[in-house]
Structure 1
Amino acid sequence: MGRTKIPRKICGRAANSCFKPNGVPMAQLAQQILAADEFEAMRLVDWQGLQQQEAASEMNISRQTLANLVKAARFKVTDCLLHGKALMIDQHHKDPPLLL
């Protein structure tokens, strides 16, 4: 039995819910789903330039959890770029939301 997740604070939202290669119908594309907390972790670290400890504090999670989220998010984005997959951004947070 695993621990219950601590609610994660998510402040940012993607401009679009999907990014895909041009000229290929969505029905023909494999999809990769980027979770809301993965998007937020990447936004804080890669776009806002926060240190991992600062970003973890912003999200109300540990630094190691943040590092795991950033690693997973970067892998998914890179997978989509390398293999021509559609990147689906989950706008719905599955944990008890702390959306601001």
Structure 2
Amino acid sequence: MPRPKKIRHCEGRKCGKAFKPARIPLTELTHIPLLQDELETLRLCDLRGLTQEQAGASMGISRGTVQRILTSARSKVAQALVEGAALIIEDSPLLEEELPG
């Protein structure tokens, strides 16, 4: 039985937004889902310059989990840029804002 996933703390709500090449309708593009926790790791590590350990502390997850999420996110962004696909921001499982209160 796998270990339960930790709740992830992410800032902002970008779900449902798309980033795509200009002048091509979204309906004509391949869609690549980018989970909100993947976007958050990109923001913390690549934009803000935090270490994976610092990003993990901010999100409430381990450094190893940050590394795994960051690798996936970078791969998806590279694929979208190289192939001219659309990145669609989607909800991640276990986000802090989604917990029943």
In the superposition, the TM-score normalised over structure 2's length comes to 0.87
Provide the residue aligned with 1:76 in structure 2. Answer: 76
For residue 2 of structure 1, report the CA deviation from its aligned partner: 1.5
Q: Give the distance between the partners of 2:78 and 2:92, measured in 1 at CA.
A: 22
In the superposition, the TM-score normalised over structure 1's length comes to 0.88
In structure 1, the gaps of 5 or more residues are: none
Q: Is the 8 A contact 1:12 1:43 kept in 2?
A: no
For residue 93 of structure 1, report the CA deviation from its aligned partner: 3.4
SS in 1 for 2:2: coil
Q: Is the 8 A contact 1:30 1:85 kept in 2?
A: yes
Count of residue pairs brought into register by the alignment: 97
Q: Give the distance between the partners of 2:44 and 2:13, measured in 1 at CA.
A: 12
1:20-99 → structure 2 map (5 Å cutoff): 20-90=20-90, 92-95=91-94, 97-99=95-97
Provide the residue aligned with 1:11 in structure 2. Answer: 11
Q: Give the distance between the partners of 2:12 and 2:76, measured in 1 at CA.
A: 18
Q: Is the 8 A contact 1:21 1:84 kept in 2?
A: yes
Q: Give the distance between the partners of 1:21 and 1:53, measured in 2 at CA.
A: 33
Q: Identity of paired residues, percent? A: 38
Aligned partner of 1:98: which letter? E
Aligned partner of 2:68: which letter? N
* Moved beyond 3 Å, runs of 4+: none
Aligned partner of 2:61: which letter? I
For residue 94 of structure 1, report the CA deviation from its aligned partner: 2.1
Aligned partner of 1:69: which letter? I
Aligned partner of 2:34: which letter? L
In structure 2, the gaps of 5 or more residues are: none
